[in-house]
Structure formats: structure tokens, C-alpha cells
A and B are shown apart, each in its own frame.
Chain A
Amino acid sequence: MSLVNPVFVDEVKRSGEFNANACMNCGVCSAVCPMGIELLPRKLFRYVLLGLQDKVLENRETVYSCLLCGMCEANCPAGVNIAENVRSLRYYMNKKVFKI
């Protein structure tokens, strides 16, 4: 059972560049990730879109493990701004979780 925060996506979204909803869940990003992060980015973005805030917060190490190398983005058939989306998640966590 998970608690849903219906405005979570709006809290994470900082600009028009946050386009996680363009993801069609094909899994190419997970397949090519050099860090082998299965969760990132597609599942993590889905949690954001569904408002599953707790799920995202319990995976904070994953969010910061991303190299922002852009390999996933170069291969993404849906044109998702993956690196910028990950940075948005980091910005959110820095503010809301770490209070930096």
C-alpha cells in the first residue's frame, strides 16, 4: 500500500523540460545504463507521475547514482529529457529532504 501525493509531479516539475510523461516505458534506458540502474529512469519517473512520493524518496541513492552521462537519452526513442528530469528530482530532494 502506498500513499499517493496528487501534486507530487507538480512539486518536482520545475520547467517545461520535465517531460517524464513522454516515456513509453520501453526499457531502453535501463538496458543501456552504464551504472546498471534498473530503476532509473523509467520506473522512478513513473513513481513521480503516479504521485508515489515515498517510493521516490526511499530510492534517493539511485537518484544521485546517475552519472548524467546521457547514454539513456541518446538512445531514448521517445525523446525524454532524462538528464534534466533527474536533475529536477535532485533539486526537489536537495530542497525538501536535505534542506540545503
Chain B
Amino acid sequence: MPLPIGDTIGILADNLRMRKSVLPVSAKGAAAWAKGLGLPRGGETVIYTGLMYQMIPYIAAMNKVQGMIEDSRLANFVGLGRYINRAVNISAFMAVPPKGTRQSFNRVLVNIALLLKQAGLEFGCLYEDDLYSGALIYDLGMDDVLADHARKVYGALKKHGVRNVITVDPHTTHMVRSVYPDLIKGYDLNVKSYLEVLAERDIDPRAGLSGEVAVHDSCVYARYENMLNQPRTLLAKAGIAVREPADTGRFTLCCGGPAESLFPKKAAARARARVEQMKEAAPRGVTMCPICYVNLQKAAGDRMIIEDISSYLVRAYCK
């Protein structure tokens, strides 16, 4: 039996409503990446993570459990799970990712901060007030829950005097740039992805890289936010030969990740199909979204090396 749709969405929505996040990422844990970077708290310009990278290890751990529950008799108990979850955060017990996985996703955020510093930008971060943007809840059509949450996120940003928001992933970028303005009256934040900021600043590489990579565009960056050239420009300037797989740019093929929370098996099949396309274009692949990254990496196994774009950029542009 497939996962019960209503109860699964209900658990995610309850978590956002009660715990400000769909999965159990503690505020302290979510801010751990910034330790030692000396970023000021808040300020006019901040890096806002929206917790996507921090949450991916938990999503991966949760999906492993969901994959076991899907098509088994345990799926009958998800409804009971939702009931219990209101009192006890059951996802905290179900999804415990290894420390190493958490550290590798935190490393992406450190890389991005280093790149922004290298570009000469002065910025702060929100530490424990960096809240999840609600992207998954938006996709699932829980708009009332999202509207309440969006006001909390906006309030946290305003409390810290923020005017300019630098985002690190496509889903958060879309939420705070294109969705929130329709939900919050008087919304007045300027939002840019770090890739846009770096491309605008036209920074020069410190070390030339070589080799070729297949670029996997995020659906959200490519089709919702019209961001296509910036990652290619930054990679090419670093000396990397950018290769285009079939179905690229505005017509990029989805990694299947958005189906993970309800249909893990379908999501895995989509990811395998995309990896095959990328393998035909180059021996290595590059992503710019944490969901694409984890989903494609999992599907690729040891057949193809897939890295987040920040890993390449930090090697090329930072000292």
C-alpha cells in the first residue's frame, strides 16, 4: 500500500505549524555551519539558508524509512503516527542522519559564505533565527499553513534589520522572491541567489580548474526564476568545460526529488533516468540545488561523481 497522502502531508504541516520546520532540525544544529566564520548577526544584507541544505540529511534518512514503509503493512499506521506526532516529535526518532552527512551539507554553506566574502560582500546571517522557508508545504498546496509561516520568516528577517537577502538554493530563492510577496502585504526584501551575486561581481578565479562537467539545471532556477547563465559563466570562467546533457536549460529534466516525500520509488526512477543523460554528456556532474544533489548522487552511486556547484567554485575562486 502506498504512503497515505493525507496523513503524510498532515505530519509535515503539523511540524511546520508547531515546530517551524517540516523535519526535526534544531535551530542550534541548523546554525552550526556558521561557527567560526565570524559573520555578524543580522544586518542590512544577510545570507539566508532557509535550512534546505541542513535539512537534506534528515530528508534522506526519512526517505529511507518511508521507502521501507511504502508498500508494506506499516503504511496503515501513518495515521496513528500523525496523531502521536502532535505530542511527540516522531520524525526526530525516525530520521537520524549520520554526523558525516550533516557535516558535508554544512560544508556547502561554508563554501558559499567563503565565496561571498571573496567577492568582497559584507553580510551577516541569522543563526538560530534562520527559519525554513516552507517550500515543501507550498508545493503540497497547504497555503494557509504556509501564509502563517511566511509571516514568521519575514518577521525574523525584519527583526534583524534585513533589506537584502542572499539565498543559497533555488527553492528558497523562489519562495522569498516570488511567492512571499503575494502572501505578505508590504513585502520589501531584495532577494538574490548567491550565484547571481557572484556573477554580477564578476570575480576572478584564484586557481584555474580543468576537466568537463555535465550541468544539471534545477527546474526552479531554470523555469521559475529564469536563472540559467550565471552558473555556466562562473564554471567556464574557472576553466571548466561545461557540457549540456539532453534536456537542458529551460527544458531541464527534473531529478524526481519533489516526489520523494510521497512516492520515494517513483522519485528514484526519475533520478536514475537523469543520471543516464548526464553520464552521456560528461564523466562528472554538477548540481545547484540540495534536492537535486542528494537525489542524483544517490542514483549515481559510484558510476558518476556529482558535486554541488559551490564545491567547484570554492576551489577556483577562493584562496
Contact = CB atoms under 8 A, between A and B. Distances in A.
Interface in A41-78: 60-61, 64-65, 67-71, 73-75
B9 A71 contact: no
Interface string B125-165: 00000000000001111110000000000000000000000
Contact of A97 (B6, B250, B262, B273): B6
A6 B219 CA distance: 36
Contact of A61 (B2, B143, B219, B253): B2
A60 B266 CA distance: 16
A68 B6 contact: no
A73 B250 CA distance: 11
B43 interface: no
Given A64-B5, A68-B258, A98-B7, 10 more contacts: A65-B262, A67-B258, A67-B270, A69-B254, A70-B223, A71-B251, A75-B251, A87-B141, A91-B143, A98-B6
B6 A69 contact: no
Shortest 7 CB-CB contacts between residues of A and residues of B: A90-B141, A98-B6, A69-B254, A70-B223, A91-B141, A69-B219, A67-B258
Contacts of B258: 67-69
Contacts of A92: 141
Nearest to A68: B139
A97 B138 CA distance: 18
A67 B256 contact: yes
15 contacts: A34-B273, A35-B270, A69-B254, A70-B219, A70-B224, A71-B219, A74-B223, A87-B138, A87-B139, A90-B140, A91-B143, A94-B140, A94-B141, A98-B5, A98-B9
Interface of A: 34-35, 60-61, 64-65, 67-71, 73-75, 87-94, 97-100
A74 B250 CA distance: 8
Interface string B210-253: 00000000010001100000000000000000000000001111
B13 A100 contact: yes
Counting contact residues on chain B (CB < 8 A from A), the size range is 20 to 34
B259 interface: yes
B312 interface: no
A92 B144 CA distance: 12
B166 to A, nearest CB: 24
Interface in B27-58: none
Contacts of A74: 223, 250-251
Question: Main SS of the interface on chain A?
Answer: helix
B140 A65 contact: no
Contact of B266 (A65, A89, A93, A94): A65
B26 to A, nearest CB: 25
Contacts of B259: 35, 65, 67
Contacts of A65: 259, 262-263, 266
B253 A35 contact: no
Contacts of B5: 60-61, 64, 98
Contacts of B223: 69-71, 73-74
Nearest to A91: B141
Contacts of A70: 219, 223-224
A88 B224 CA distance: 17
B67 interface: no
Nearest to B10: A100
B10 A71 contact: no
A90 B262 CA distance: 13
A34 B13 contact: no
Contacts of B138: 87
B256 A98 contact: no
A35 B274 CA distance: 12
Given A64-B262, A69-B254, A87-B141, A94 B224 contact: no
